[in-house]
A and B are shown apart, each in its own frame.
Chain A
Amino acid sequence: MNAINEEPEPREIEALLPWHAAGTLSPRDANRVEQALASDRELARQYDLVREELIETIHLNETLGAPSARVMERLFAAIDAEETRAPRHRRWFDLGGRISEFLSSLTPRTLAWSATAAAVAILMQAAVIAAVVVKEQGSSSGPELASAPSEGSYAVVRFAPQATADDMTNFLRAYKATVVEGPLKGQLYRIRLSETRLPKEEVGKIIRQMQSESNVVGFVAAKE
């Protein structure tokens, strides 16, 4: 008994019915509720009431309309005013955003924020690559990842999951390659093999050599 309300507490499964109806229970809890519903007619009857309430709550909220266009105008006027007073400085290298976007492009939204070991490993790798990029580009060309110029010879590469920072740095140094773009879709990076355009045969030879280093790269291909 609840000492304050003098009301019985809801049974655990009974209390979960609204979330089951809304589809927001974990698979484990949803399974428990399903099993209970199958064997408890009173609970099943109450579940019908819950679904009725859910439908009407949605209906009620959907009839509430929407705010007027003035809200957006007012909001952006306020933002403009703030920017005029104190313009914010762009982060010189939006590594976090790039990594987040990169992860989000590969996985469900929730995974982008989960601290799984795999995600950490990828994040570390992306961070290492970003550090390499900045180092390679130096201060003369600025810290942003520049779009690749049209001249020169290029390849796209996906580093192996087990590749360490040293492996990647040594790999790029060995081939005098520079990361010029990325991460692209599919965890790929565009690297410059040479500032001048190399003959196709030469590029093919470099690519084949790179492909043999499977402990560092998972995928390499020439890129115009």
Chain B
Amino acid sequence: MQSTPDEVLIGRIANGDRLAMQVLFARYHVRVFRFVVRLVRDEATAEDVISEVFLDVWRQAGRFEGRSTVSTWLLAIARFKAISAVRRRRDEELDEETAGAIEDLSDDPGTVLEKKDKSAAIRKCLMGLSAEHREIIDLVYYHEKSVEEAAEIVGIPENTVKTRMFYARKRLAELLKSEGIERGWP
């Protein structure tokens, strides 16, 4: 059975249809949450952000023009809200968090074991990337966004999307090298 297209749900939400809102929420809240939690690195904050995202959808559905897909629109709203949430935190708090993340990379007791486990090491290094690099990698690999869609969500030119992805991958290779995994690239 064919499910109701996202754009139709948005049309119904614009008319105050709560059921359509529930369907859209059920369809996307996990993906939006995962996108946000990777940016804000805190589940409670991510939950606050996705509430705000879907409340915005409820309010703004009538303005959705369909120039992009609904999922791209949602991720663009989520990104904006996530960045605002991060900015609300104090700088010191962010510094501590970043330092903690770097420390985690080298001091984890399981490091020696994980070095032998390439998959685990890749995942660990993916977590060690900067927010900018994590974001582009997640959008392309996990959220299956095209060059054009990623450009729209992040708000950068398409060529910059490609270049950013390239350097995110390069940085990942460097982190893996520092973990003792030589991939032969770049």
Contacts and interface: CB of A to CB of B under 8 A. Distances in A.
Interface stretch (B76-84, B94-102, B121-129): B121-129
Interface of B: 2, 5-8, 11-12, 14-16, 18, 21-22, 25, 29-30, 33-34, 37-38, 43, 46-47, 50-51, 54-55, 58-59, 66-67, 69, 118-119, 122-123, 126-127, 137-138, 140-142, 144-147, 149, 162-163, 165-167, 169-170, 172-173, 183-185
Nearest to A14: B166
Interface string A15-30: 1101101111100000
A100 B185 CA distance: 48
Max chain B Cβ within 10 angstroms of own Cβ: one of A14, A45, A49: A49
Contact of B15 (A22, A58, A94): A94
Given A74-B51, A91-B15, 6 more contacts: A5-B167, A75-B54, A76-B21, A94-B15, A97-B15, A112-B66
A67 B30 contact: yes
A10 B29 contact: no
Given A18-B140, A58-B142, A75 B55 contact: yes
A: contact size bracket:
35 or more
Contacts, number: 149
B16 A67 contact: no
Nearest to A22: B144
> Considering the complex of A and B, which 10 residue pairs feature the smallest CB-CB distances, nearest first?
A97-B11, A57-B141, A113-B66, A10-B166, A56-B122, A15-B162, A104-B5, A24-B146, A61-B142, A67-B33
A14 B166 CA distance: 9
A61 B51 contact: no
Nearest to B137: A57
B55 A78 contact: yes
A53 B169 contact: yes
A66 B43 CA distance: 9
Max chain B Cβ within 10 angstroms of own Cβ: one of A19, A49, A67, A70: A67
Given A67-B50, A112-B7, A25 B162 contact: no
A59 interface: yes
Given A18-B169, A100-B8, A24 B47 contact: no
A9 B162 CA distance: 10
Contact of B7 (A54, A78, A113): A113
A101 B37 contact: no
B55 to A, nearest CB: 5
A79 B21 contact: yes
A25 B146 contact: yes
B5 A112 contact: yes
A150 interface: no
B47 A79 contact: no
A57 B168 CA distance: 13
A136 B30 CA distance: 47
A158 B87 CA distance: 56
Nearest to B59: A82
Contact of B163 (A9, A57, A83, A87): A9
Contact of A19 (B30, B43, B51, B146): B146
A91 B12 CA distance: 10
B122 to A, nearest CB: 4
Contact of A24 (B54, B145, B172): B145
A82 B58 contact: yes
A88 interface: yes
Nearest to B5: A104
A46 interface: yes
